Amino acid sequence: MDLTLLGQLLLNGLIVGTLYGVVGMCFVLIYKASQVVNFAQGEFLLIGAWVCWFFLTKYQVPFFIGFLLTLAFMAAFGVLLQVVVLRPLIGEPIISVIMVTIGLSIVFQAAMKWGFGVYAQAFPQIFEKQSFSLFGLQVKTAYGLSLAVSVVIMAGFAYFFKYTRYGLAMRATAYNQQAAQSLGISIKHVFALAWAISAMVSTVAGVVVALVNGVSSALSAFGIKVFPAVILGGLDSVIGAVVGGLIVGLLENFAHYIDSQFLNWGNMYEVAPFYVLILILMIKPYGLFGTKDIERV
């Protein structure tokens, strides 16, 4: 057994798992606010990464400034998307809204290919050192930074929901939209804020992954890989999204280790999370931290 390889893969899984958790919180945020599963979440990562790449390569702005401009753009984009496309669907069957998000995913994919091409593009070099050593293991500098940023984002989510006015409004809306509206909470503003935050936070993950692997349409698949983590943790649980992301990240890399060292099947990295997802949902249908929906007839 190559324990060094195992340690390296588990460390990578921990770091990638935090990114899964961050994107998973965006899934949960939109679902809790509007009861909609956003299947275009992966495209938020892709759009954010392309926009940041455009600022850095077209206008040669410093990375920090380009990143802040990208976050501002994505916040406005999320609000515009909610107001123009999704707000008119309020009151419609949930399946109709979900189908719209799937359609948006296809449209965004096509638009990014038309605007930026189909070939992967590398980000300009941001860091002097591309990797560093941690306990004898090599860590990409971008991933190391993402781990710290992800922890800050998670702490920010916890503070936002517990102590801020808009966070409390969002929690009230998630619990009962009609009751929240009767108390003077603007449901439309809550929905728009949820989509804006989701777009911004997804952009952080998109830029981090693009710094390591480059920007291409394959980046949008990150959203699909996060979905098992969200279901695993519980679709309406922010904590569950974080835990589910860490589980999936570690599980992917552990499965890769077992496959490379013993099984040699060649696809365990991709399918292992879905196997575990099925097993856990057979035992806990609402996920590890999801709220049970009890109906009495």
pLDDT in tens, 254-267: 888 888 887 777 77
- Tokens 């929906």, located at residue: 293
pTM of full prediction above 0.75: yes
Q: What percent of the chain has a predicted confidence (pLDDT) above 90?
A: 31
C-alpha closest to that of 154 among 17, 25, 8:
25
Mind listing the pLDDT tens digit for each residue in 54-65?
A: 999 999 999 999
CB < 8 Å & 24+ apart, contacts of 12-16: 12/143, 12/253, 13/249, 13/250, 13/251, 13/252, 13/253, 13/254, 14/147, 14/246, 14/249, 14/250, 15/139, 15/143, 15/144, 15/146, 15/147, 15/249, 16/143, 16/249, 16/252, 16/253
Look at residue 297 and tell me whether its pLDDT is greater than 90. no
Mind listing the pLDDT tens digit for each residue in 14-41?
A: 988 999 999 999 988 888 877 788 999 9
Q: How confident is the model at residue 82, as a pLDDT?
A: 92
Q: How confident is the model at residue 34, as a pLDDT?
A: 78
Residue 12: pLDDT band by 50, 70, 90 thresholds? confident
Q: How far apart are CA 6 and CA 15, in angstroms?
A: 14
The average confidence (pLDDT) of the chain is 86
Q: How confident is the model at residue 76, as a pLDDT?
A: 96
Query: Would you say 249 and 228 are in contact if contact means Cβ atoms under 8 Å apart?
Result: no
Query: Would you say 280 and 232 are in contact if contact means Cβ atoms under 8 Å apart?
Result: yes
Residue with the bigger pLDDT between 115 and 172: it is 115
Mind listing the pLDDT tens digit for each residue in 63-77?
A: 999 999 999 999 999
Residue 1: pLDDT band by 50, 70, 90 thresholds? low
Position 142: which residue type?
Answer: A
Residue with the bigger pLDDT between 175 and 296: it is 175
Q: How far apart are CA 167 and CA 165, in angstroms?
A: 5
Q: How far apart are CA 138 and CA 4, in angstroms?
A: 11
Q: How confident is the model at residue 114, as a pLDDT?
A: 93
Neighbour count for residue 281 (Cβ, 10 Å):
15
Question: Beta-strand (E) ranges in the chain?
Answer: 131-134, 137-140
Mind listing the pLDDT tens digit for each residue in 142-199?
A: 888 888 888 888 888 888 888 888 888 887 887 777 888 888 888 888 889 999 999 9
171-192 burial: b if 16+ Cβ within 10 Å, else e: bbbbeebeebeeeebebeebbb
Helix H or strand E encompassing 47 = helix 41-58
